Amino acid sequence: MKNLKDLVRPNVWNLKPYSSARDEFHGEASVFIDANENPFNTPYNRYPDPMQWELKKRIGELRGTTPDTIFIGNGSDEAIDLLIRAFCELATDNVLSIDPSYGMYEVSANVNHVGFRKVRLQSDFSLDPDTLLAQIDAQTKLIFLCSPNNPTANTLKREDIYRVLNGFEGIVVIDEAYIDFSSSPSFVPELAQHPNLVVLQTLSKAWGAAGIRLGMAFASPEIISLLNKIKYPYNVNQLTQEKALEILNREADMKEQLRNILAERSLLETTLPQVACVKELYPSDANFMLVRVEDANATYEYLVRQGIIVRNRNNVTLCEGCLRITIGTPEENTVLLKALNDMSL
Ligand code: PMP
């Protein structure tokens, strides 16, 4: 890896971040009159912990890492945006990703006027790391790899990810939004071996909390400090911090839901191929299935008429004719299967 200083935008490296009242004093006291808050209406009159330490402690316990290696944001979308803003100089630098993949890497690059290059996956949705590495130039600062990948549902091969981690001198971001549904282990325990690694996770998927907006980035304390420097001071509100802690303290509930979703995924893996309009079902390591059907647009429209909304991926690279179907409750999956079977009568 290059020196962090040579990768980061100079204005970010030299930035003196905003210092909030809660940054300047933390600890116990009887009278808090330092932050221009309203003294009534407790507890929501108070600004939340800008560094979310209690949450980071719990996430660290769950993921086997320390709080200083964790950034928490308003969804992992915030971390994606901040990474681009920390490392990529406007109208000069570029980021690299795979195609097809999660759309926000490209959108965030475009919003920040940063170049975006994508390398097509192979027909089996695997990554050719050498083709990816060949796209790197002196201005490439970040590579986003989504694994398990959205919308293709496969986990990228570990040796291919190592090849990218070891073959690139910039930052490699592995988006593990769907990791809990995969049989492959997370890269979080390998942070110490790879100073250029950032891992993204979220409460929006397996933890069932997309509505509270909480995403995480795991990386070296040096990279985490950079993200903390440029984030909004109170980027994760009090309600979200409280609810997230409550959810993370009920890990058994998450595991139970996970078992249910994985059992339903197995069921769909056996039943969907028997549906007449289904031409191909791709293996899934996520909480959704990518399904190639006879006519994706017509099937999508038909399902909408039945009140069933799936994601039409017909216009996405390598996904022509495909629908992306999230695993629902057993009842929802039964309704879907019945509708698909009725259509093909
Ligand atoms: N990464 C991937 C791969 C996703 O599919 C999604 C959401 N669909 C996200 C990140 C966004 O996560 P969050 O809700 O934490 O912003």
Distance 102 CA to ligand 1 centre (A): 8
Of 174, 204, 207, best ligand 1 pocket probe by most atoms within 8 Å of the beta carbon? 204
Q: Is the dihedral of CA 109, 239, 231, 147 positive or negative?
A: negative
Ligand 1, atom nearest to 178 Cα = 3
The pLDDT assigned to 171 comes to: 98
Q: Which helix (H) or strand (E) holds 105?
A: helix 104-111
Both structure tokens of 168: 């690139």
- Please tell me whether residue 14 adopts helix, strand or coil conformation: coil
Phi, psi of 317 (to 5 degrees): -45, 130
Q: In Å, how far are 50, 217, 225 from 16, measured between CA atoms?
A: 16, 22, 12
CB-ligand 1 contact for 340 (6 Å cutoff):
no
Distance 312 CA to ligand 1 centre (A): 18
Ligand 1, atom nearest to 204 Cα = 14
CB-ligand 1 contact for 177 (6 Å cutoff):
yes
Q: In Å, how far are 8, 176, 197 from 145, measured between CA atoms?
A: 20, 9, 11
CB-ligand 1 contact for 202 (6 Å cutoff):
yes
Block means of pLDDT (10 residues each) for the chain, length 345 residues? Answer: 95 95 89 96 96 98 98 98 98 98 98 98 98 98 98 98 98 98 97 97 98 98 98 97 98 98 98 96 98 97 98 97 98 98 80
Q: What is the pTM of this model?
A: 0.97
Which residues neighbour 83 within 8 Å (Cβ) at sequence distance 6 or greater?
Answer: 142, 171, 173, 198, 217, 227
The pLDDT assigned to 55 comes to: 98
Give the separation between CA 40 and CA 31, rounded to whole angstroms: 13
Distance 177 CA to ligand 1 centre (A): 6
Distance 29 CA to ligand 1 centre (A): 39
Give the separation between CA 32 and CA 266, rounded to whole angstroms: 55
Both structure tokens of 225: 């400090």
Distance 33 CA to ligand 1 centre (A): 39
CB-ligand 1 contact for 76 (6 Å cutoff):
yes
CA atoms within 13 A on the CB side of 14: 3
DSSP annotation of 16: -
Distance 215 CA to ligand 1 centre (A): 8
CB atoms within 10 A of CB 169: 14
The pLDDT assigned to 344 comes to: 64
Q: β-pairing, 115-120 with 94-99?
A: parallel
Give the separation between CA 317 and CA 124, rounded to whole angstroms: 13
The pLDDT assigned to 22 comes to: 86
Give the separation between CA 345 and CA 343, rounded to whole angstroms: 6
Give the separation between CA 337 and CA 272, rounded to whole angstroms: 7
Amino acid at 3: N
